């Protein structure tokens, strides 16, 4: 049995997660298969996946998940939509999967792309990404799919890569953008106080650690004890949370902004503004460049919004 997914459900999740990650609510949906109607969905804001290329994902999932479909070879070459129907199904373990023409998606490495039974809304939103592909497959519009695939192929199925990723991410802490603060001009100093200092103070208090703030180009490394404690924190993240943390940290060049977002200290808007402090300061003096700053802002918000979406569950 299948059920149509109401557009208002999709729209509410896409709008809410941008504004307040901490207060996302999950709309209950039927447990059975969910049929997404192409006329009831709109395309996501243009988003680029940081980890796994959506093109690579589509090419490889086409050959691994749909070998009996001749149109998939054509899709590999011209990147056109070959499926007619997108649905959300449940497997024998009661996990969610997104299916194209009743065939479940797989990751680039061939593993089933499964979503926890506690994340109904995430399954619907991933289905929405695939339904929003109209004629041509968009390279930039599968950010949620990419995050889940990264968590499976990069971390769950590859413990060595997971440890390597953690080692790379902890290095961001020594050069964390928000720990290198300027003393002029005044407008930048005020923005740093407004958006950066609360994050630093929260991390100090929440994790009971010392964090150095540097005011020069060449700064001191953070305390070894602090690094060890914060590394232990991210080592305890589940694979999907680590994937989300990786994306946020790489995008913002800030380990602490990454922690703030995935630990729900920051909303998507707050994280986006903290990421753009220097740009905001420059535009306050020189103004915005048409079709540049606005696009950059929406790109950052969309990327951080995808992080918020993959971390929401049925209880928040």
Whether residues 70 and 120 share a domain: the answer is: yes
Q: 245 lies in which domain range?
A: 159-311
Give the model confidence (pLDDT) of 12-21 as tens digits: 444 444 443 4
Between the two ends of the chain, the Cα-to-Cα distance in Å is 27
| Domains contained in the chain, number | 2
Q: Which of 93, 120, 155 is the last residue of a domain?
A: 155
Whether residues 139 and 177 share a domain: the answer is: no
Whether residues 103 and 195 share a domain: the answer is: no
Give the model confidence (pLDDT) of 236-247 as tens digits: 999 999 999 999
Range with the largest mean pLDDT of 12-16, 54-58, 295-299: 295-299
Tell which wins on pLDDT, 140 or 282. 282
pLDDT at 40: 34
Q: Could you tell me the pLDDT band of residue 187, with boundaries at 50, 70 and 90?
A: very high
How far is 10 from 176, CA to CA, in rounded Å?
A: 35
Here the tokens at position 295 are 């696009």
Average pLDDT, the chain: 81
Tell me if 316 is assigned to some domain: no
Residue 184 has pLDDT above 70, yes or no: yes
Q: Which of 155, 187, 203 is the last residue of a domain?
A: 155
Tell which wins on pLDDT, 61 or 153. 153
Q: Which residue has the tokens 């589940």?
A: 238
Q: Which of 130, 155, 180 is the last residue of a domain?
A: 155
Whether residues 36 and 168 share a domain: the answer is: no
pLDDT at 213: 96
Whether residues 15 and 150 share a domain: the answer is: yes
Q: Could you tell me the pLDDT band of residue 135, with boundaries at 50, 70 and 90?
A: confident
Give the model confidence (pLDDT) of 260-274 as tens digits: 999 999 999 999 999
How far is 181 from 69, CA to CA, in rounded Å?
A: 56
> Would you give the distance in Å from CA 61 to the centre of its chain?
20
139-171: b or e for each residue (b if 16 or more CB lie within 10 Å)?
bebbbbbbbbbbbbbbbbeeeeebeebbeebbe
Whether residues 33 and 100 share a domain: the answer is: yes
Spatial neighbors of 137 by CB under 8 A, at least 6 apart, are: 54, 55, 58, 75, 79, 80, 81
pTM of the entire predicted model: 0.78
């Amino acid at each position: 049995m299948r059920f149509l997914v109401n557009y208002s459900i999709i729209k509410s999740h896409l709008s809410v997660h941008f504004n307040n990650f901490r207060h996302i609510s999950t709309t209950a949906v039927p447990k059975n298969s969910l049929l997404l109607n192409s006329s009831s969905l709109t395309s996501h804001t243009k988003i680029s996946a940081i980890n796994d290329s959506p093109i690579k994902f589509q090419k490889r999932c086409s050959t691994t998940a749909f070998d009996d479909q001749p149109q998939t070879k054509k899709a590999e070459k011209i990147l056109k939509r070959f499926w007619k129907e997108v649905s959300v199904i449940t497997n024998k373990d009661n996990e969610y999967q997104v299916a194209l023409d009743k065939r479940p998606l797989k990751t680039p490495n061939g593993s089933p792309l499964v979503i926890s039974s506690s994340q109904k809304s995430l399954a619907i939103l991933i289905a929405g990404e695939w339904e929003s592909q109209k004629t041509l497959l968009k390279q930039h519009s599968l950010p949620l799919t990419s995050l889940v695939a990264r968590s499976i192929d990069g971390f769950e199925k590859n413990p060595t890569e997971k440890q390597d990723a953690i080692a790379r991410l902890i290095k961001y802490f020594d050069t964390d953008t928000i720990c290198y603060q300027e003393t002029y001009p005044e407008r930048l100093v005020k923005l740093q106080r407004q958006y950066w200092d609360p994050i630093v103070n929260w991390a100090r208090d929440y994790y009971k650690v010392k964090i150095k703030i540097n005011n020069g180009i060449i700064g001191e490394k953070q305390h070894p004890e602090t690094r060890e404690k914060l590394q232990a924190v991210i080592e305890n993240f589940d694979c999907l949370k680590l994937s989300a943390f990786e994306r946020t940290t790489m995008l913002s060049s800030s380990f602490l902004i990454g922690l703030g977002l995935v630990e729900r200290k920051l909303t998507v808007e707050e994280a986006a503004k903290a990421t753009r402090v220097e740009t905001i300061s420059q535009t306050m003096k020189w103004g915005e460049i048409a079709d540049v700053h606005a696009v950059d802002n929406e790109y950052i918000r969309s990327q951080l919004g995808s992080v918020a979406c993959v971390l929401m569950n049925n209880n928040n």
